[in-house]
Amino acid sequence: MEPTTRELSLNKGKFEESVLYKLKKDWVLRFKLGPDCLAENVSIFTNYPPAGCEYHRTSYHPLPWHCPSQHDKTSHTAQLTVLLPGSFHFYFTTTSTLPTHTPAGGGHFLVDPELVYPLDSIICQTVLSKLLGPLPTWKDKLEVAHRSGYNMVHFTPIQALGASNSAYSLADQHQLNKTFSPASSQATFADVEEIVASLRSDWGLLSICDIVLNHTANETPWLAEQTEATYNLLNCPHLRPAFILDRVVKRLAADTGAGVWVGKGIPKGEISSPAHINVCKTLLHTFYLPKVNIPELFLLDIDKTVESFTEKIKETPENSESCGEEMKIIQDPEYRRNMSTINLDVAVAKYNKPRDNINQEEERIQACVAQFQQDLICLVSSKHSEVMAHLSQAVENVGTGAAYQHVDPHGPRLTAVSVREDQELVAPYFTCPDLPTLEEELELAHSPEGAHCMAHNGWVMGDDPLRNFALPGSNVYLRRELVAWGDSVKLRFGNKPEDSPFLWRYMTEYVVQTARIFDGLRLDNCHSTPLHVASFMLDQARKVRPNLYVSAELFTGSEAKDNMFVNCLGITSLIREGMAAWDSHELGRMVYKYGGDPVGSFKWTSSTQKIAPGTAHALFVDWTHDNPSPVEKRSVQDMLPSAALVSMAACAVGSNRGYDELVPHHIHVVQEDRPYAGWSALGDSTGMVVARRELSMLHQKLAREGFSEVFVDQMSRDVVAITRHSPTDRRSVIMVAFTHFFPDNVIETSGLKLEVEGRLTEVLLEGKMVCKSGTDKCEKFVQAKEVINGLDCWSAEVKTGSADLVKIISDGADGRVRIDLDGLTPGSFLVVEIEPQDLHKQAISSLRNVDTDRLASIVREMTLLDIQFALFQCDQEGQELGFGSYNVPGWGELHYCGLAGLVPVLDCMRPSNDLGHPLAGNLRSGDWLVEFISTRLASQPGTVQLAGWFSSAFSSLKVLPRFLVPRYFDSVIMAASAALQQQAVSLMSPFISTGSDFVKKLAMGSVIHTSAVPSAPLPPLSPALSPPPSHPSPTLAAGLPHFSTGYMRSWGRDTFISLRGMLLVTGRFLEARDIILGYAGTLRHGLIPNLLDGGKNARFNCRDAVWWWLRAILDYIEMAEDAGQIMKDPVVRLYPGEEETVQPLEDVVSEALAVHATGLQFRERNAGVKIDEHMKDEGFNNQIGVDKETGFVFGGNISNCGTWMDKMGSSAQAGNKGDPSSPRDGSAVEIVGLSYSCLRDLARLGGEVYRHQEVAPLGTLTTWADRIKDNFDKYFWVGSKSGAEVDKKPEFTNKILIYKDTLNSGNLFTDYQLRPNYAITLAVAPDITDPHHAWAALKTMQESLLGPLGLATLDPTDWAYRGDYDNSNCSSDRTLAHGANYHQGPEWVWPVGFFLRALLKVGKLVGEPEYQSAVSVANSVLARHYSHLCSSPWLGLPELTNSKGAFCRDSNPIQAWSMATLLDTLYDMDRETA
């Protein structure tokens, strides 16, 4: 069995630090080169350790590349099998980044730890460890978790706590909480470990514990000696202004407590109204802050600075040059009063200038000083205003904090204010010794004793979690933006262990010890913990516990930043709070968001798939331990249905101790000191303990049995239905919960019914909240003094196996389950299990076990033409056979009639499970599409058997519940499509069948474009051929959809440009032979037709097709390896002249050459509007011939266009009708090159293969070829401004280091235009010219014409360049109207293949460095085509693009020659390697 493999493409510049790639143990991660890396030498590195090595975060190892093809880098892969849990990083370098080894891209991959339970089955209860009491009592208290069905316990820190008794303010990380020790002995960490182990072994309870890395309690013993581990006034003098402000606030509190401000309206020792807060703010502004003058810490002494400037300027010669640097205040690093400075050099350079109307030096200096002083005063004033703005905001924040603390009805309303630590006005920002006077505290700030003035930790609303708010540059402390924890000092780790050796060592020992005891860690205050610290500590923890479960709560406000933490730290589960939901709809949305796939999700049919970005795994908690009770925020009745809804989430879930006991208040992490009750004091009758147990069992069952799909239905404002669905056996578990978010606004619900397809298997559970008093009102809750207690008057009643709250109308005997929900009341829920009907079970089984063996057997008998029909056919092709493309309502027509029309759409839908796509909707709504597929395939003999296979599969599909149809339809289509594509490549040449993904994608162009279309037949072939031709014989479409049927399908030029790549490289020699011979039969006037139109209506208005035809014959002889048999094959002539009707191909070839050699002038048959409504009369007159002196073929005139650049003007309005945009008459460079290559290779065949070795009156083939070669550079090479060696009009030269595009054209200036055509010559005949000339010309082409996908058809600097093609242009611009600029700049794709082939061949001739450069360019260019291929819904490459690669709406989206010439390139590169 193949391992599960995920593929990840490397793309330059893609640093995916915030993207989650999630893997499981034993999976394979395979890296592939993205399109922009194909031209580079890529090295990939990862810190995932090699086998037998230990993980070190900073140790990277290279991954070896597997390279089936050296040059085709789309085949290159690097992979690793992941066996270790955790988070790992990778990066890659490229050729361009090698000198500095700078990463070109990178990311992370996460491997889940393996626990006793699947992650999604975890149900975790939080306990405040400080409330567990002595260790001997723990088992009794923790048994509550076990009896309630939890399988994990989260402990808050077990270490010694500080004076505040906060669960998260640790006094000593290496000491156990003293309350754990019984009276008779000292508890140890080993004792805790023993209890935790017994929880695991006795009850299957896993455990995790908090670690606190960010701060330590004010009372921590080692702080006095290890002050470097804190942010204090000695090592962080930038905090001195904030410290002084903090002491000012403390003085206000002390004075308030002493009754100083009674006269201002503040009672002695009391702040209890908004008016008191306003007085405090006024006092801070007008009395306290002026006393300490904090702005002076940021300012400079103006007089001293002016004095220093004056001395400096006197010593410096005046300077007339301008100074670009602005003068600014340089902060004194010690924050002493008025001790900031400026850069005097900058000041002198700026102000020491000549002064108009001042001749005396002393007066000039005085003027400069005066100007400087004036600007300095402004600068100081600006800085003063800036600091005062910070202080004003600080006063506002003090007011806001004090209002919440003392006045706000939603706050604690602690009205007492004094000097006492428990009666602060607001939480202090610093811990420090209290001194008698403010003046002494000001001195303390700048003394060595300032090391003991340490900044408190806290959190900043809306701050960037990746920013350390205590570092220089942050004004958080000064502006009082910190929600401070006054009991805890912020720890200062620095950037590395060497910065604070004690702290790193001490905290590492603490973390490792905790990891040894527990199965996992919860990282407290994760969003404010420096990433480099947390990652280091977790790395050490994983050394002692590799399968470490890590959870954390993040408040970054950004999913991307959450993901950065998850990636860096390897967080297993992010804590998500159900209490954040403001109504049942939001709670349902959370259930859907935090786990599971949509019901009816697609399934990948292969074990290998592209890795998709994931979302962080959730630990979804109904009540977290640092929040008020749900009773306070909602109601006691809501506790049961909300807990039930959370338990239905397809992720880890959890709760807080006290929820199940219905504790109606916040169990405060600081203030609460009563212990939990033990199981011996509670029992099943307590609160909702039994209900929780049943919900826990349900949650674990759903995870264990694979109910991984989720659907949420909001049935009313307060009623939510959650479906958990199993994709394996298609059972559903449905919960309907009646929430009670709004106790004062209950909406009665009636008429609700649950109705689903299937059969009711079981009522799994129902429950409701019950008030023991018989009403919804209870006696006032009284807190017990000795133990934490809950509401006694409420409990949850649950029942399994039958339903009392609802009425079962139908159990599904008729195919539908119907349940009347009127009996549900607020605070109740129902859970039922539904199984598919027997008919559905059979259908699902059939579809899951679809007969792939029979499919393979059927497909093995299919030809490539059968496969073309099954997979492809554009709408026009399909219409001829009675089946056009399928139209998806709301989306449009599929691009192909066959299965390939569906595949790109399904490929886009599958990764995101886009079940809302119109295609999915169409499949759910009816069987139209499946009927279309079956009926269409049944219409052709070659696909009848395949139609039968589909009909069998679809018969099962049709009876499924409609929500499942898209999922199984996708599986059926993809199975058949994959089999057909595999069969297609297996029928092609070994180069294709064993080639890369890129090669195979290009080769599919052969299947797409090659078919037998009734309206576009091939001319008749001789029955004497061996092997006999296929009937009907296929033809090559020029492109789809515009050139697919009728007379527009078969173009002589396009066919034979495409034939090498589409048919010869792919090994389709029979089809190639038949097309060569079929066209041969139409030879007339020494030419092959431009438009074939079955041969009888052929049009002979192109001069180049015959040479492309001859080139294809010679390529066929070389690649088919038939020893030239095709030259003897009979050709059925449609226009035989004096010869017999049937003659061998070699005679037809000879005739073509002879007509050219002797020359011919002719007029097209049926000349006039019947064959061309736009051409002028003289355009129908044609001429071909050979210049006897040079050997160059010539022809045409300025009124026709006989090469591939054949756009004829058609706009009478614009005045271009009948005027070709690019006549290219005379000797076109590519025809000269093609003719030379054909003559050369015909001569090399020798007389036995090709007997006509002489052409009158030009002599032998070799003589003619040599004459062309001898003259080519003389006439075509433009190496300087003086033009060619032989040149009629050298003054027309405008571009050098090129070959002329034509010679002796009627519009002589066009000879000198830079176009891509000479690349063809250099590709087919690199030996025709000096290779150094060729290399220079190709580099010119690369620099001037090469675009993202194509080559510009005209130099962008040419006056005639018009780069954007619009065939519907109806303007009066003759250069653009009716798309006249078709070949005047738009970037065509097919010439790129010849450019690359030429570059590679010429580079080889010039030298190894040039050849390697050519390979690099080829890979870079081809990468862009591969990228386009991978995303094209037509599965191909376009005809052309507009300028700079822009989309052209009038281009064919897929063109045969575009794909063929690039496949040629890859084939040549492969042969060169071989």
Q: Enumerate the active-site residues.
A: 524, 527, 626
CA 1023 from centre of chain: 57
Dihedral of the CA atoms 1221, 1233, 1461, 879 (nearest 10)? 50
How many residues does this entry show for the chain? 1474
Distance between CA 1442 and CA 1454 in Å, rounded?
15
Greatest CA separation for the chain:
129
For 126, residues 6+ apart whose C-beta sits below 8 A from its C-beta are 153, 154, 156, 621, 624, 625, 654, 655, 656, 657
Q: Do 577 and 552 form a contact (C-beta atoms < 8 A)?
A: no
Distance between CA 769 and CA 1356 in Å, rounded?
78
User: The tokens of 386 are what?
Assistant: 């800036």
> Which pairs from 1041-1046 meet CB under 8 Å and 24+ separation?
1041/874, 1041/875, 1041/876, 1041/1452, 1041/1453, 1042/1452, 1043/1452, 1044/874, 1044/876, 1044/877, 1044/1013, 1045/876, 1045/877, 1045/879, 1045/880, 1045/1013, 1045/1015, 1045/1016, 1046/1015, 1046/1016, 1046/1093
Distance between CA 1421 and CA 1351 in Å, rounded?
11
Dihedral of the CA atoms 123, 128, 130, 132 (nearest 10)? -50
User: In whole angstroms, how large is the CA radius of gyration of the chain?
Assistant: 42
User: The tokens of 177 are what?
Assistant: 């909480």
CA 1098 from centre of chain: 51
687 torsion bin: left (phi>0), alpha (psi -120 to 50), beta (else): left
Strands (E), 800-945: 807-811, 816-820, 828-835, 887-888, 892-893
* Reduced DSSP (H G I as helix, E B as strand, rest coil) percent helix, strand, coil of the chain, to 5: 40, 15, 45
SS3 labels along 1055-1102:
HHHHHHHHHHCCCCHHHHHHHHHHHHCCCECCECCCECCCCCCCECCC
Distance between CA 942 and CA 940 in Å, rounded?
6
HSE, CB side, 13 Å, CA atoms: give it for residue 1314. 25
HSE, CB side, 13 Å, CA atoms: give it for residue 22. 14
SS3 labels along 85-108:
CEEEEEEEECHHHCCCCCCCEEEE
Supply φ then ψ for residue 1426, to 5 degrees: -60, -45
Which amino acid, residue 120? D
Distance between CA 1029 and CA 1052 in Å, rounded?
20
* DSSP character at residue 62: E
Q: Do 1228 and 1204 form a contact (C-beta atoms < 8 A)?
A: no
Q: Do 637 and 740 form a contact (C-beta atoms < 8 A)?
A: yes
Helical axes 965-986 vs 997-1009, angle rounded to 10°: 90
User: The tokens of 10 are what?
Assistant: 């490397």
For 128, residues 6+ apart whose C-beta sits below 8 A from its C-beta are 156, 167, 625, 657, 667, 669, 672
User: The tokens of 920 are what?
Assistant: 């999915």
**Exposure string over 748-761, b if 16+ CB within 10 A, otherwise e:** ebeebebebbbbbb
* Residue that has been written with the tokens 């339903």 in this structure: 803
User: The tokens of 1121 are what?
Assistant: 């390896």
Distance between CA 488 and CA 483 in Å, rounded?
12
